[in-house]
Amino acid sequence: MFRILSITASLILAAALNAAPIAESLVRIEATSQEPNYKTPWNPGDVTSGVGAGFVIAGDRIMTNAHVVSNARFLTVSKEGDPKPYPARVLHIAHDCDLALLGVENPEFFNGTTGLEFGGIPPIESVVSVYGYPIGGTRLSVTRGIVSRIDFQTYSHSAMDSHLTIQIDAAINPGNSGGPVMQKGKVVGVAFQGYSGDVAQNVGYMIPTPVALRFLADVEDGTYDRYVDLAFSHRELFNPAARRALGLEDDNTGVLVSSVYGGGSSSGILKPGDVILKIDTLPVSSDGTIPLGSESVPLTEVVERKFKGDTVTLDILRDGKPKHLKVPLNEPWPFTLQSNAYDEKPRFVVFAGLVFQPVDQNFMEAHNPGNQRLNYLFDYFVEDEIHRDRPELVVLGTILPDPVNAYAEEFRFSPVDEINGRRIKRIEDVAQVFAEPADDYVITFAGTGRPLVLERKAVQEAGPRIAERYGVASQENLIK
């Protein structure tokens, strides 16, 4: 008992000794942002502001969370002990791993700061300290905890991406976002999300250094290319009958390829039913993990550390025969419609008071349409390869009531099939076909049976009237 106490005491001492340089490099970020409203997509959106944390790294840059500076219109940064706010700007932002880099125009800001260095993955049960500005406040706050778990977790900022995440039991609260998590004077993570509700307590999450360092490496060439993905799903291979049927020994190796997503990196290379035995020469266990260093991690971790243009090699078993495959990671994952999107303008076309929009997560969240067909098409967009027919799901969203569209309500949230005989694959098609002169505009929707007919003359008369009455500042926006 006595020994344990003394260890704890020395750790506190170590933390206290290290606190001074860390405090100098800690940054308080005030962000004013403007979030567009997908129900009135022509409006610039409400102005809101918030506070987060960040830290100075090499090259006079500030690292923080993407969600602290998303949709930012104006940013200021300030240091501990220097109340002056300095205007800052976003250099790079990675929404898929919730990280961003900021620059400051005035180089004086960095006087007296030291770029913090990155450490490795802290061992389970080791103590870490979290720095930030939780629950508002202008003074630095430090909390401490231990590393509870190292695992893959969904990053709630995009809500679709999962990366390596470290769970700690230090209190992480609003305002900690973007702050450094330190161990032995080095950054071992970036605090970014917590757990809500009554289910769990003392659960905080940080972005570990492999993710942060990958982000820094990715932007070295001046642009952020996003994560690449093998774009297939796999199943554990525990069942003895399945193992024998696939020609495998009872030796706990290999996973079954279940879906290969069309349009992704593995499309045309891998097939459902293939068994993956090795990835980049690392043996794949039947639960889908690989040995990496001293840890056992999911096989996707190999791809997590790669960049656009890299290659993954796979040793597989197809129809009982071994094969060696190379998968070039050419393009990032192409289907981002199910992710929360930021720093984008909503795209739309207004015609006769009808607002046509491509469906994405932002649209679904704003409108919450109770349309079973649309829900299915959105949920299964990738899995059922809906994108082959419809690269974008264009629907009728908001209706601005006017005599010209008095009978359009039944078409709300229905996917547009055709306008004047032309197949609608993207929102641009809608803009083009409405720009072409015609006596009638005949719009057919999936699942509604009857067409919606709009007479040109009536539309032309209604256009200015609707725009004025509803304050529609622009009739279309096709650029993100």
Q: Taking the complex as a whole, how short is the minimal distance between the CB of residue 307 and other proteins, in angstroms?
A: 25
What's the token pair of residue 104?
A: 């400051």
Applying CB under 8 A, which of residues 60, 383, 389, 436 lies at the interface with other proteins? 383
Which has the closest alpha carbon to 180: 72, 48, 23, 299? 23
Which has the closest alpha carbon to 475: 454, 459, 451? 459
User: Looking at the DSSP assignment, which residues form a beta bridge with residue 322?
Assistant: 317
**In terms of residues, how long is the chain?**
480
CB contact at 8 A, 142 and 131: yes
Which has the closest alpha carbon to 226: 314, 155, 120, 325? 155
The reply on whether position 38 binds other proteins by CB under 8 A is no
Please count the other Cβ atoms lying within 10 Å of the Cβ belonging to residue 445: 22
The reply on whether position 364 binds other proteins by CB under 8 A is yes
- Is residue 98 part of the annotated active site? The answer reads yes
Gap between the Cα atoms of 351 and 362, Å rounded: 21
Of 73-81, 228-236, 427-435, 471-479, which part binds other proteins (CB under 8 A)? Answer: 228-236
The reply on whether position 74 binds other proteins by CB under 8 A is no
Q: Which is nearer to other proteins, 64 or 209 (CB)?
A: 64
Applying CB under 8 A, which of residues 16, 217, 245, 435 lies at the interface with other proteins? 245
CB contact at 8 A, 275 and 237: yes
Of 85-93, 194-202, 326-334, 388-396, which part binds other proteins (CB under 8 A)? Answer: 194-202
Gap between the Cα atoms of 100 and 91, Å rounded: 8
Positions in 43-72 near other proteins (CB under 8 A):
48-52, 67-68
Q: Taking the complex as a whole, how short is the minimal distance between the CB of residue 373 and other proteins, in angstroms?
A: 7
The reply on whether position 370 binds other proteins by CB under 8 A is yes
Q: Taking the complex as a whole, how short is the minimal distance between the CB of residue 115 and other proteins, in angstroms?
A: 25
Radius of gyration of the chain (CA): 26
Positions in 410-449 near other proteins (CB under 8 A):
410, 440, 442, 447-449
* Strands 204-208, 162-168: pairing kind: antiparallel
Q: Taking the complex as a whole, how short is the minimal distance between the CB of residue 452 and other proteins, in angstroms?
A: 8
Of 8-16, 288-296, 385-393, 453-461, which part binds other proteins (CB under 8 A)? Answer: 453-461
The reply on whether position 378 binds other proteins by CB under 8 A is yes
Helix H or strand E encompassing 18: helix 2-25
226 residue type, one letter: R
The reply on whether position 258 binds other proteins by CB under 8 A is yes
The reply on whether position 167 binds other proteins by CB under 8 A is no
Gap between the Cα atoms of 187 and 189, Å rounded: 6
Q: Taking the complex as a whole, how short is the minimal distance between the CB of residue 294 and other proteins, in angstroms?
A: 27
- Is residue 360 part of the annotated active site? The answer reads no
The reply on whether position 277 binds other proteins by CB under 8 A is no
Of 13-21, 239-247, 428-436, 460-468, which part binds other proteins (CB under 8 A)? Answer: 239-247
Q: Which is nearer to other proteins, 42 or 192 (CB)?
A: 192
Q: Which is nearer to other proteins, 432 or 448 (CB)?
A: 448
437 residue type, one letter: P
The reply on whether position 319 binds other proteins by CB under 8 A is no
Q: Taking the complex as a whole, how short is the minimal distance between the CB of residue 56 and other proteins, in angstroms?
A: 21
What three-state secondary structure class fits 64?
Answer: strand
Q: Is 192 left (phi over 0), alpha (psi -120 to 50) or beta?
A: alpha
The reply on whether position 135 binds other proteins by CB under 8 A is yes
Q: Taking the complex as a whole, how short is the minimal distance between the CB of residue 193 and other proteins, in angstroms?
A: 5
CB contact at 8 A, 316 and 275: yes
* Active-site pick, 95, 96, 98, 259: 98
The reply on whether position 391 binds other proteins by CB under 8 A is no
- Is residue 177 part of the annotated active site? The answer reads yes
Applying CB under 8 A, which of residues 246, 279, 290, 354 lies at the interface with other proteins? 246
Cβ-based burial of 357 (10 A; exposed 0-12, middle 13-18, buried ≥19): buried
30 residue type, one letter: E
**Residues designated as active site:** 67, 98, 177
